[in-house]
Amino acid sequence: MATVGYIQTAMFTVSAWDFLICLAEELKVAGILGFCPSIVIYYVSRIGILLLMAAELLMQFASIAHCEVFWHITSATSTISSAATSFLFFLRVRAVYEKSLSVTIAFAIFWLAIPVTCSLWNISVQASHMGSAQCILSGFGSFPSMCLWVKAAYDTSVFAAITWRIISYAVADRVPRSQRWRLIRGAGMSQICRDLLRGGQQFYFVTIGTTLMGASAVFLPVDSHNRLWLPLPGKAIEGIMACRVFRKLVLSSDEYQEGRSHRDSIMLTTVFVPDVEPT
C-alpha cells in the first residue's frame, strides 16, 4: 500500500509540475490555434490526465463517502483522457497519409478499441470501503493490462505507419542512396516532416517501455491492489509526452509558412484540424 501511495504521489507531482512549467506554452498554443477540434482534444488529454492523477491520489489516501460514484467519475476521466491522448496521434497518421479514407477508417477502428477496452475495465470494477475509510477496488481481473496492451499495439502501429510514410516521401524525392540511412533522423526532409518524424520517435521510445511494463503487471507476483495501480506511470508519461510533441509542432508552425509544399500544407492542417482548408 505504501509503495502504491508513493507512486501515485510521484505521478501527480510530475503531472502538475509539467503543467505549471509549460503554462506559458499552453496559452501560446491556444492563441495560435484558436478554438478548433484539435485544441479541444489536446486540453481534454492534458487536463484529464492531471485530474486522473489527483482523483487516484484521493482514492488512495482520502476518506470518500460514496466510493462507487467516485470510482465511476475517476474511470470515466481515465477513459476520456486516454482516448483523447491517442486521438492526437490518430490526427498525425491521418495527416501524413493526406486524409486517405482507408487509412482513416483503419486507424479509427483501432483507436475505438482503446475506449472500449478501458470501459470494460471500468465496468468490471467494484469500489467499496471493506472496513476501511478509503475505497478498495475489486473484481477488475486482467482488464487494466488488456487496455495497456491495446494502447501499446496502437502506438506501435501509428509510429510504424508514420515513419514508413515520411521516409517513403524522402525516398520518392530522390534522396541519394548513400544518405538514406540518415532518413531515420529526418535528414534531407522538410521541416514539418522532420518534426513529425522526430516527435513520433520521442513519444514512442519514451512511453513504450512504461506502457509495456504496466501491461505486464498482471503477471507479477504482487497482490491485486498493487497490480491495479502499477500501470499508473504509463498513463501519466504517455499524456505528458503526447501533449509535449503536439505543442512542439504547433509552436513551430510559423516556421512552415514560407516555402512549404502542398503536401506539407495538407499535413499541417490535418494535424491541427482548422476550420478553413489551405489554399
More confident residue, 110 or 75: 110
Residue 161 contacts residue 136 (beta carbons within 8 Å):
no
In this prediction, residue 186 has a pLDDT band, given cuts at 50, 70 and 90, of low
C-alpha cell at position 99: 486524409
More confident residue, 19 or 210: 19
Per-residue pLDDT for 266 more than 80? no
Q: How far apart are CA 129 and CA 135, in angstroms?
A: 5
Residue 38 contacts residue 91 (beta carbons within 8 Å):
yes
Q: What is the largest CA-CA distance in the chain?
A: 70
In this prediction, residue 275 has a pLDDT band, given cuts at 50, 70 and 90, of very low
What does the pLDDT read at residue 256?
55
What does the pLDDT read at residue 215?
77
What does the pLDDT read at residue 222?
66
Buried (b) or exposed (e) across 178-214, using 16+ Cβ within 10 A?
Answer: eeeeebeebebbbebbbbbbbbbbebbeebbebbeeb
Per-residue pLDDT for 234 more than 70? yes
- Compute the Cα dihedral for 163, 166, 171, 177 and give only its sign: negative
The full set of domains in the chain, from first to last, is 2-249 (1.20.1070.10)
In this prediction, residue 111 has a pLDDT band, given cuts at 50, 70 and 90, of very high
What is the rounded end-to-end Cα distance, in angstroms, of the chain? 58
The predicted-structure confidence for 114-165, as pLDDT tens digits, reads as follows 999 888 877 777 777 766 767 777 666 666 678 888 999 999 999 999 888 8
In this prediction, residue 11 has a pLDDT band, given cuts at 50, 70 and 90, of confident
What does the pLDDT read at residue 44?
95
| Average pLDDT for 213-241 | 75
More confident residue, 38 or 124: 38
More confident residue, 278 or 171: 171
What does the pLDDT read at residue 227?
65
Per-residue pLDDT for 225 more than 90? no
pTM of the model: 0.82
- Compute the Cα dihedral for 26, 241, 151, 162 and give only its sign: positive
Helical packing angle, 143-172 and 67-96, nearest 10°: 10
